[in-house]
Amino acid sequence: MKILRITSLGYESGGAENSMVLLNPLLTTMGHTVKILSSDAGKEMTHFSDFEFLALEPQPFLLRIFYRAWYPHSYRALKKVLRTYKPDIVQLHTMYSVSPSVLFLLKDYPTIMTVHGAEEYTSNLLLWAYPRNFFKKGTEVFEKQYLNIRGWVHFLYNKFVVRPVYKYACKNVDTFLVMSSYMQDKLREEGIESVCIQNATELFAYKEIEKSHKNILYAGRLEKIKGVEYLLQAMSCVVKAEPEVTLTIAGEGEYRGVLEDVARELGVEKSVTFVGHKTRDELRELYEYATVVVVPSVWPEPFGKVGIEAMSVGRPVIGSDVGGVSEWLKDGATGFLVPPRSAEALAEKCLLLFRDTELLTRLSKQAVQNAQAFSIEVYASRVVELYESIRQKYQ
């Protein structure tokens, strides 16, 4: 089978791109040919894409606004790829730099739209994808009433221009694919039916928790919606009770400077280390060093793959009870679910695990067992089954 996957970024920026990097070799091993079309954004990064089009970001502001509804560069690039590669199935991923223009070329191709999170063709989660400068200063909740003028311009343009184009163009999509039941319910609220194949990752090997130190790990983008400031607030409570505890923050994002300032204001900067973006191997080492991993998101995470990776190493996870997190994190069995924006609850559960080594060990062993259900191999088999079922409609 010749598979074409289309996405906005051709380098590992987040979970969507990481999933592609992990899945493609498996699909190749199963006898399929996989090619990727993406923008050329992030030229300084290592790209995994086979075909590229001019990135949306460098375009003049007014043109960029128009291009969100119809981007000629992605349209022309896909038209050429379809003519030369002739795929048996097309799978779309993140769409911001792609735009709905490419969908008009896919009428005669089996097509899957993979919904990784907030996209412009959705309304329920869209505001969570907006940058901080779209909202009034000091805003803690990403809701319409807190948009500033710039945010309102984007919101209204999306509502009355971009989304209607998507709605019409999505007639060429055979199946919407989501990673959690939570996302399936969200799309159903908008009248979109979808297939759910729970997200997965390449599992790491188990490693026993070291008792010589106490370390909390956060791994992910440093954005406001990730709730890391509440973890820092929790850390200020934790170190008062257990001064030897350290916090490692792995990842990059527009919020890093703010978080570094928060750490200094709370007086925990000596206990907190920002280590930046890490490769997969480096991330594995951080999981192995950690005692517990925290997912403090305040937005409704569609899934939360970091937690699966952590559990595969045998690390209990403390996560906000938002979005699809409860579909893989079992409260009291593989870690703990806590209310979002609750530094007190995060601190309480961290201290509980540091002080109760028997509980820590029990949750660690259960975490490893539960992680096995989310292996990338299982996911690959189910995705190929979906490909085949859609292709049959065209035969």
Please check whether residue 146 lies inside any domain of the structure: yes
State the pLDDT at residue 244. Answer: 97
| Residues 19 and 110 reside in one and the same domain | yes
Residue 207, in any domain of the structure: no
* pLDDT more than 90, % of the chain: 78
Of the listed ranges 228-237, 251-260, 338-347, the one predicted with least confidence: 251-260
User: Cα–chain-centroid distance for residue 361?
Assistant: 29
Range list of H helices, 61-144: 61-67, 72-85
Euclidean distance between CA atoms 110 and 89, whole angstroms: 5
What is the span of the domain harbouring residue 9? 2-201+376-392
302, part of any domain:
yes
Nearest CA-CA partner of 102 in 176, 47, 35, 170: 170
State the CATH number of the domain containing residue 241: 3.40.50.2000
Q: What does the pLDDT look like over 44-55, one tens digit per residue?
A: 888 999 999 999
Same domain, 386 and 362: no
The answer as to whether 157 is a domain residue is yes
Shared domain for 156 and 18, answered yes or no, is: yes
**By the 8 A CB rule, do 95 and 8 touch?**
yes
- pLDDT tens digits, one per residue of 385-394: 999 999 998 8
Residues 166 and 252 in one domain: no
Quick check: is 351 in a domain? yes
Domain count along the chain: 2
Q: What is the Cα–Cα distance from 370 to 284, expressed in whole angstroms?
A: 18
- Residue 186 belongs to a domain: yes
Q: Give yes or no: residues 220 and 164 share one domain.
A: no
139 burial class (0-12, 13-18, 19+ CB within 10 angstroms)? middle
Mean pLDDT along residues 278-303: 94
- For residue 270, give every residue at least 6 positions away whose Cβ sits within 8 Å of its Cβ, in sequence order, or none: none
Decide if 268 is inside a domain. yes
On whether both 170 and 222 belong to a single domain, the answer is: no
**Helix 305-313 to helix 357-371 angle, to the nearest 10 degrees?**
120
pLDDT at position 254, please?
A: 86
Check whether residue 294 and residue 162 sit in a common domain: no
Q: Is residue 38 domain-shared with residue 180, that is, in the same domain?
A: yes
What percent of the chain is predicted at pLDDT more than 70?
99
In the predicted structure, residue 15 carries a pLDDT above the cut 90: no
What are the CA-CA distances from residue 297 to residues 37, 268, 322 (Å)? 30, 20, 7
| Residue 315 to residue 307: CA distance in whole angstroms | 9
Asked if 259 and 222 touch (Cβ cutoff 8 Å), the reply is yes
Sign of CA dihedral 106, 180, 364, 233: positive
Backbone angles phi, psi at 159, to 5 degrees: -65, -40
* Mean pLDDT over the full length of the chain: 94
133 C-beta neighbours (distance < 10 Å), count: 10
Whether pTM exceeds 0.95: no
Both tokens assigned to 356: 């109760």
Supply the angle between the helices 228-241 and 256-266 in degrees, to the nearest 10.
Answer: 20
Residues 360 and 382 in one domain: no
Are 182 and 87 found together in one domain? yes
Same domain for 158 and 16: yes
Domain shared by 284 and 370, yes or no: yes
Q: What is the CA radius of gyration of the chain?
A: 21
Q: Is residue 210 part of a domain?
A: no
What is the tens place of the pLDDT at every residue in 202-222?
A: 999 999 999 899 999 999 999
Above 70 in pLDDT, residue 346? Answer: yes
